[in-house]
Structure 1
C-alpha cells in the first residue's frame, strides 16, 4: 500500500465526533434527509456534481480533496459521469486523494473480483488521480499482517486530514462498507466475517457462492462517521426494503446504515424504485397531505381494503375515518361512489383470452433464455392460441448461469453417441470433447470460461428455450437468439449498451413489423441485464417510427420502397412484465390475465424444460431459496388471491402487465 503523498498532514476540525446531532425528521417518520431522483442517471449526475464542487473548491483553496469511494454496481454511474467531466469538461483530479472502503480477503489485486481491479477499470484508469494518492485496503496479506495493515489504513486517513466526502452504497443486509449486522459506531477498519446474504449477493460476481470469500477488510462504522460529508446512494427495487429500514428505523446493530442518522451531514440519494417502500412514497397519506389524483385514490382504497380485510365494495365511512382518510372521502363524492369507481377500474383491467390480441405480429423480448416462460408463460400460451405471429427474442445467451457439470453431461452424451451419429467420424469428436473437458478441469475458481465453453453453455440455454416454447405450441422457427454484444464478456459484469445492441433490436422490429412488444419491466439494478436490455429496446423503439415498407415493384423489377409516416404507423403497444422476483402491484397494473390450474400447470411444465436452472440455479437470489417454477406459481396464485380479497372475480392464478405506447 503506497504511503500518503498528497499534502502536509491535517487535523480534523474538532476533537468532537461528527455524529452528535439529533435524528432528522421529515414526513413524520424519516430520520435522514432523502433526495429522490426519477432515474439512476439523474442520481449519478447529482452525486458527481457534489464531488466536482468539492474538488474545485479545494483546488481554489490550494488544498487536496479527500474522497472515500465505494465499489459495486451502484456507483458505476457516478464514476462514468466523473470520467465524462474529466474528459469533456477538464475536471482535474490531480489534487484528489482517495480511500476505498473495503476489499475481499483473500484477494489478489489483479483478480477479476478484486476491488483494486474494479476501481482501475471503472475509474482510476480514466482520470488523473496520482497513483500515490490512491489507497485501497489489501486483501492479499498474510492473516497475521491484516491487523497492522488496518491500523495503518486508519493512520493514513488521519494523516490526510480525514475524508471530506464519502460515497456509500448499501447492501441488502443493511451494511455500509462490509459492516455486517452486529457492527457498532465504535468500530474502526478491521477484518470482518461476511454475512450469508452478502455472500449470496456476491455469488454472481464469483460464478458460484462457494467461491465467494468469507472475510473482508472494511472501514468501520466509526471510520465512516468521521467523514465530513456522507452521501449514500441506492438504486433499484431490490434495495427499497433496506432503504426504508435505514431511513425510518432507529439506529440499531442489525442495520449498520441506520447509524448514518447520527451524522451531522449525511444524506441518502435514491431513485424512484429504491424509494418505493418509504412511507411517503408507498402510503403518503399516513405522513402528509395528499393531492388525491385518481391514481392516489385507487392506491389508498386498495391499501384500506387490505388493512381492514374487507372487499372494496364492503368498505364503509367508518373504515375511512378510522384510518385518517377523511379528506379522500370528502373530495370524492362519498364512500360508495369512490369505492365503486375504484372497483370498476380494477374490474375492467381483468381481461380474458378472447380480449387479447388476435392475428397480430408479436415480439416477446426475454432478457435471459427463461424469462419468457417464468414471467409470462400464461400470456405467451394465450397469444399462441389466438393465432398471433409470435417471435420470442432471447436477448442474451445466459451462458454465465450454467454449471460446469452441465457442460460435462452434454459433452459426455456427444462422446457416447458418436458411434451412432457419425460411425465413420474417427476420433476427432472424442479428442475435442476430451480437450474441452481438460480446460474445464484446469479452470480456477471464479475464472472466466474459454470461448468454446461459453458457446457450449449458450447452446445448452438455447436448446432449453426451444423446448420450453414447444410446450406453448411454438417451435425453433419462432425463437430468435440475438446474442447481444454487451453480454458477451464471459463475466457477470457486462459492457455498456452500444450501438450494435440497439441496431440488433431495431433490425428485428423492422423485419417483423411487430404491433405488440412484451418487455421485462424490472426496475432493479441499473447495470443488471434486465435493465440494460430494457434500455436497448427503448432506444430502438424510439427510432422505429420511420421503418421501410415494400409497395409494388419499381423499374427493372427492383422493389420500390417508401417510408411510412408515424401517424400511419404508430409505435407498437408495449406490454411490460416483471421478472422472477416480483410482480406488478395491484394499483399499478393495467392488465390482469386470469389463469386456470391447467394454464399454470402448462407454464410450470415449460419452466421445467430449463433443466440447467432446475433444482439448483447458479444465481437464485439472496433471499429466496425457492426454485423459479415455485416463485412463478406462488407469485401468480398470490396475485389471484389479492384480486379475490378486493372482491374481484375469483380465479386460480393471474399474471399482471403494464401497457404503454412509449416506454417510460
Structure 2
C-alpha cells in the first residue's frame, strides 16, 4: 500500500499586515473556485438589495470568460431559489470583439445571454454590451456614447473583472494607462492565443476589440478582480506585488480606494505569503510546512537536503524552523526520509485490485499517468479506463475527410456494396459539402460530431493496447455536459453525475485515478472533477460501511505536482517512458498540431509529459534522493479535496 498523506494542511495564523506587506491591494484567498464564486455572488446580492432599499439602481460592470461563470451560476440560483430580484439592476459589459456579429458563437452578447441574462429578470433596456457590428467610422462616436450611458446611469457601483495572462483587464492590453476610456484596441498576441480555442484556431481570432478603458473602470465605486488556476498565478503576483505599471494594466487597481482581489488557492500560489510565507511572517511549523521550506532552501542553494547546514537556514529567514527541531540534522533527515518513503517502486504497488482511471479527454490517461497505467496492468489489477468526454470538438475536419476517403477506397474489401454503398456515398457527399462551406467555429452536423468522437475512441483503444489493455477495458461515458458541439460547455448536471455514479456502483472500485490538473483552458478537467466528486459523495452515502476507494490525483497535460505536494512518486525507466510516449502517439488526431494545445505551452503533449516526468526525477535527484530517468507524481486521498 502506498504512503497516504495524513498530515493536515499547514496552519497559518490569520493574515497580518506583516504577512501581506508585499501586497499592494487587499487580497482574499479561497480554497476553491466554488467558495470564491459564492462569496462574490453574495457580495453582489447584498449590493443589489442595499440599492433597492435606498430606492436606487445597482449599476454593475460585468466580464465574460470562464472565470465569472461560477458567479453567474450562483446569482441565477439565488434568483430562482431565494427570489433575488434583479429588476433594479443596470449592467455594462466590459468589452466585445471587433468585428463580431451579436449572434456569433463567440460573441459576448450571446455569451451573456446564455450564461446570465436569459435567466434573470434584468429589464432588457438596462443591459448594455459594446457592439462589435459597427462600421469603422461609427466606432469613435459609439464609444463616447457608451461612456455617456454609464454617466447617465450614475456611474458604476461595482465592476467585476477577470485578468488575462498578459495582465489585461477588459481588453486593456499592456501599454494601456489609467487615462484610457472606452475605445477600439488591438489585441495582444497572448490574448489572441488564449482565445484561439473559442475560435478553432488563432488565425480566426479577431485582431481588435472594443473595451471599457482603465480610467472608466477606476471610476467605479468598487472593483473586484477574480482569478482561478495555477496559470494565472504569475501575472496575479505581478499585479498585486509590483508597483503600478503599463506592462501589467491590472496593477493600476492598486490606486483604487476600494478594490479587492479574489483568488482561489491555485491562483494565489505565487504570492509571497503563499509560496514562501516564512519570508513575510510567522508560520506554524507542522511537517508539511517544514517540508516546503526545506525543499525551497535546498533548491535555492543547489545543495542536497542532507548537506544543508544551520547557517543556510539562518541566512534565509528560517530561524524559527531551526528552533522547532532538536537540530538541523534531525530536521533534514526527517524531511529526506519523508520524501524517500513516497518513492513507490512497481513491485510495491497494489495488486489484484479494482481500479477506475477517469480520463476527462480520450488522451489524458496516457499523457498524465501512462507509466502508472502500465504498472497497474503489469500487477494484474482489474483496470477500467473511463473516458468522460468524447473529445470530438478537438478533431480537425481534415481527419474526417481522410477516414471517409479510406472507407471509399476500401469499400470492396469491407463488403460495402449495393444500397449500403449508395447510402454511404450520399452521406459522405453531404458531409463533404457541409465541411466545404463550414465557417470557423460553426457547430458540426450531428453525424460529423459522432464521426469525430469515433476517431478519438479508436485512438484511445489503440493507446491502452500499448499498455496491455483492450477495448473491453475502455468505457466511453460521453457525458452530456460536453456535447454542445462548441468549446463552451454546459454546466455539470444531474445526468452527468448519474453516469459516474452508475459506473461506481457497477465496478465498486478500490482505487480511483482522477485528473487533478484543473487549469486546462477549456475547463473540462475541472468540470469532470466536479462530477466525480459529487458522484463519489453520493456513493459514500449509499455505502457508509464499505471501505472507501483511495483517490489518486494525477497531473501532466497542463501542469505537474510540485515535489512538496506529491504523496507518491513512481520511478520510470527510459523504456517505461518510451512506452508511455508510444501510447500518446496513438492519438494521431492530437499529434503534431492539436486543435487546443493551450496558449501558454507550445510543446506537444508527448513533449510536455516527457519533460515533466524527467523534470520531477531531476528535482528528486538534486534534493539528494535516488536518481531516476523519469518519475510520475500523484496526490492520494480518501476524499476529493
TM-score bin (small chain): over 0.9
Rounded to whole Å, the distance in 1 between the matches of 2:520 and 2:428 is 38
- For residue 159 of structure 2, give the secondary structure of its aligned residue in structure 1: strand
In the alignment, does 2:522 pair up with 1:544? no
Partner residue, 2:349: 356
Correspondent of 1:571 among 543, 548, 556 = 548
In the alignment, does 2:150 pair up with 1:157? yes
Correspondent of 2:238 among 226, 242, 245 = 245
Partner residue, 2:575: 598
Contact 2:521 2:598 in 1 (8 A): no
Please give the per-residue CA displacement for 1:405-438, whole angstroms capped at 9, x wherever unaligned: 1111111111111122125334332222121111
**CA RMSD, Structure 1 to Structure 2 (Å):** 1.4
Shift of the alpha carbon at 1:468?
0.6
Partner residue, 1:139: 132
Correspondent of 2:170 among 165, 174, 177 = 177
Rounded to whole Å, the distance in 1 between the matches of 2:333 and 2:377 is 35
Partner residue, 2:360: 367
Rounded to whole Å, the distance in 2 between the matches of 1:139 and 1:261 is 30
Contact 1:204 1:492 in 2 (8 A): yes
Please give the per-residue CA displacement for 1:198-223, whole angstroms capped at 9, x wherever unaligned: 11111121222222111100011111
Partner residue, 1:608: 585
Partner residue, 1:88: 81
Mean Cα displacement is larger for which, 35-44 or 476-485?
A: 35-44
Rounded to whole Å, the distance in 2 between the matches of 1:491 and 1:388 is 37
Partner residue, 1:10: none
Shift of the alpha carbon at 1:527?
7.6
Contact 1:25 1:31 in 2 (8 A): no
Correspondent of 1:472 among 464, 467, 471 = 467
Correspondent of 1:504 among 499, 508, 513 = 499
Correspondent of 1:493 among 474, 488, 502 = 488
Partner residue, 2:40: 47
Contact 2:18 2:280 in 1 (8 A): no
Rounded to whole Å, the distance in 1 between the matches of 2:135 and 2:428 is 40
Question: Which TM-score applies when normalising by structure 2?
Answer: 0.95
Rounded to whole Å, the distance in 1 between the matches of 2:520 and 2:69 is 11
Rounded to whole Å, the distance in 2 between the matches of 1:311 and 1:206 is 47
Contact 2:391 2:456 in 1 (8 A): yes
In the alignment, does 2:626 pair up with 1:649? yes
Please give the per-residue CA displacement for 1:345-366, whole angstroms capped at 9, x wherever unaligned: 0000011000111111111110
Contact 2:487 2:522 in 1 (8 A): no
Mean Cα displacement is larger for which, 620-629 or 421-430?
A: 421-430
Q: How many residues align?
A: 623
Contact 1:363 1:392 in 2 (8 A): yes
Partner residue, 1:436: 431
Please give the per-residue CA displacement for 1:179-209, whole angstroms capped at 9, x wherever unaligned: 1111111111111111111111111212222
Shift of the alpha carbon at 1:545?
3.6
Rounded to whole Å, the distance in 1 between the matches of 2:300 and 2:520 is 31
Question: Which TM-score applies when normalising by structure 1?
Answer: 0.92
Map of 1:6-17 to 2, 5 A cutoff? Answer: none
Rounded to whole Å, the distance in 2 between the matches of 1:306 and 1:403 is 43
Rounded to whole Å, the distance in 1 between the matches of 2:520 and 2:413 is 47
Partner residue, 1:18: none
Shift of the alpha carbon at 1:648?
0.2
- For residue 411 of structure 2, give the secondary structure of its aligned residue in structure 1: helix
Unpaired runs of 5+ residues, structure 2, are 1-16
Contact 2:356 2:384 in 1 (8 A): yes
Contact 1:76 1:122 in 2 (8 A): yes
Shift of the alpha carbon at 1:250?
1.1
Mean Cα displacement is larger for which, 247-256 or 85-94?
A: 85-94
- For residue 480 of structure 1, give the secondary structure of its aligned residue in structure 2: strand
Mean Cα displacement is larger for which, 92-101 or 608-617?
A: 92-101
Partner residue, 1:68: 61
Contact 2:556 2:612 in 1 (8 A): no
For residues 352 and 148 of structure 1, do their structure 2 counterparts lie closer, same or farther at Cα, with a shift above 3 Å needed? same
Correspondent of 2:450 among 452, 455, 473 = 455
Contact 1:25 1:32 in 2 (8 A): no
The higher radius of gyration belongs to: 1
Rounded to whole Å, the distance in 1 between the matches of 2:386 and 2:74 is 32
Rounded to whole Å, the distance in 2 between the matches of 1:499 and 1:160 is 40
Partner residue, 1:560: none
Contact 1:207 1:400 in 2 (8 A): no
Contact 2:519 2:558 in 1 (8 A): no
Rounded to whole Å, the distance in 2 between the matches of 1:661 and 1:403 is 39
Please give the per-residue CA displacement for 1:80-131, whole angstroms capped at 9, x wherever unaligned: 1222222222222222111100000111111111111111111111111111
Contact 2:19 2:273 in 1 (8 A): no
- For residue 553 of structure 2, give the secondary structure of its aligned residue in structure 1: strand
Contact 1:103 1:136 in 2 (8 A): yes
Partner residue, 2:181: 188
Partner residue, 2:379: 386
Shift of the alpha carbon at 1:338?
0.1
Partner residue, 1:97: 90
- For residue 337 of structure 1, give the secondary structure of its aligned residue in structure 2: helix
Partner residue, 1:532: 527
Contact 2:18 2:281 in 1 (8 A): no
Partner residue, 2:334: 341
Rounded to whole Å, the distance in 2 between the matches of 1:614 and 1:493 is 23
Contact 2:441 2:486 in 1 (8 A): no
For residues 424 and 47 of structure 1, do their structure 2 counterparts lie closer, same or farther at Cα, with a shift above 3 Å needed? closer
- For residue 192 of structure 2, give the secondary structure of its aligned residue in structure 1: helix
Contact 1:399 1:461 in 2 (8 A): yes
